[in-house]
Structure 1
Amino acid sequence: MSKRAILLLVIVALAAGLGLWASQRHFGPVTSAQPKVTSITLLPNPRTLPAFSLQQSDGTPLTADELKGHWTLVFLGFTHCPDVCPTTLAQLAGAQKQWAAMPEASRPRVLFISADPERDSPALTGKYAHAFHADSLAATAPLPALEEFARGLSLVFMKVPGTSGKPDDYSIDHSAGFVVLDPQARMAGVIQPPFDVKAIAADMTVLSKATP
């Protein structure tokens, strides 16, 4: 991993920790009314996201309304990612298999967002995500919309040029964790690596079953 990538991950971890600390200081500790989970750090109060509109792999808009009604795991990455993204999506596919027997109306969902709109069209983003699990949602958007969406979720990403100097020789450093959205499409929690697939699947199942 590059020094730039390590610095990015440190910044993300600090931002997440400070955000949770500030939220707890302002709103108070997590209440006992929340379902007990082991892999997810739940926010004391879910955070409403700024309005957004991304483009799904089938060409339709992805807005907050499209995400309502389900608990959703959001992961930011890109299709040219050499290691973190395929490994993480494979782990998420394992979790998806564990809750596959749940009714579709209450089943948790996975949303993959490409942070590389230069190379990843919505269709390519969808093809990539669906290779790991057919039920995954996938979307991307022009860079300004992606940056605003990521900020709303306390996620970060940045383009890192390669050594050849060619325009298409670059990588994307990005947050490695997941954001958990509740059925009102609000930011409800975060999951940081290393990931425990069984625990994530169990926690998302508990949250989904606890939702009226």
Structure 2
Amino acid sequence: MRLILLVLLSSLLLSCSKSDKVSELTVQYPSPKLLKPFELVDQNNNVVTNAQLLGQWNLLFLGYTSCPDICPMTLAKLKHIKGKLSALEKTQVWFVSVDPSRDSAQKRKEYIAYFDDSFLAVTHSHQQLFPFVRDIGLIYAINDAQDTEYYVDHSASIALINPAGELSAIFKPEFKKGQVPSVNTDQIVADFEIITRARSTAF
């Protein structure tokens, strides 16, 4: 009888330990990193700073309004993800335009409204953007800004900032042959629950 109980207990502990680990698609920071001071401008021409990160969980995604595939696909998924996460914790989505020369405030406002007008659509000059993007663990590069039609290479990952304004995790996309890199909605929700649960027990 004791042997059976020990086996059941060990199985239970093993399942609990597995559930507390995020998937291979998520990079979780053991010690969340406080972001450096930044200043961006949203789709209503309001200045946003680190203060707008506080008191909520934040999902930050890089993109630009002329993006042909990854951006609209990810933003559509982020609308669904926000709906799921908001039932658990207060959550804000940030669309960070890395094409400030073409993405005016009005253009960003119209673009983001197609997905969810509660999203923040922010940008600034590259002088402000580069250090901010690097600080949240993502990257971007302009291919040929001399042409009026150009692509912007950017991370397809999503940065997760906690309510204290710290970088907690990066949700990476899945790469499948012949398909555009895409984040896994269900996996992000599951990993988010693990991350928030771990943070709540730490306090």
TM-score (norm 2): 0.76
Distance in 1 (alpha carbons) for counterparts of 2:134 and 2:87: 34
Please tell me whether residue 185 in structure 1 is matched to residue 165 in structure 2.
yes
Please tell me whether residue 80 in structure 1 is matched to residue 60 in structure 2.
no
Residue segments in structure 2 that go unaligned for 5+ positions in a row: 1-16, 175-182
TM-score (norm 1): 0.73
Instruction: Tell me which structure has the larger Cα radius of gyration.
Output: 2
Please tell me whether residue 67 in structure 1 is matched to residue 53 in structure 2.
yes
Ranges of 4+ aligned residues in structure 1 off by more than 4 Å: 205-212
Q: How many pairs are equivalent?
A: 173
1:1-212 alignment runs, 5 A limit = 36-38=21-23, 39-101=25-87, 106-161=89-144, 167-194=147-174, 195-205=183-193, 207-208=195-196, 211=200
Write the deviation string for residues 96-144 of structure 1: whole angstroms up to 9, x where unpaired: 2323545xxx422211000000000133223212311232121011111
Cα distance change, pair 137–207 in 1 and its aligned pair in 2 (3 A): farther
Aligned identity (percent) is 31
Cα distance change, pair 43–159 in 1 and its aligned pair in 2 (3 A): same
Residue segments in structure 1 that go unaligned for 5+ positions in a row: 1-31
**Secondary structure of 1:170's partner?**
coil
**Secondary structure of 1:193's partner?**
coil
Cα distance change, pair 198–123 in 1 and its aligned pair in 2 (3 A): same
**Secondary structure of 1:133's partner?**
coil
RMSD: 2.2
The offset of 1:52, in angstroms, is 0.3
The offset of 1:90, in angstroms, is 1.1
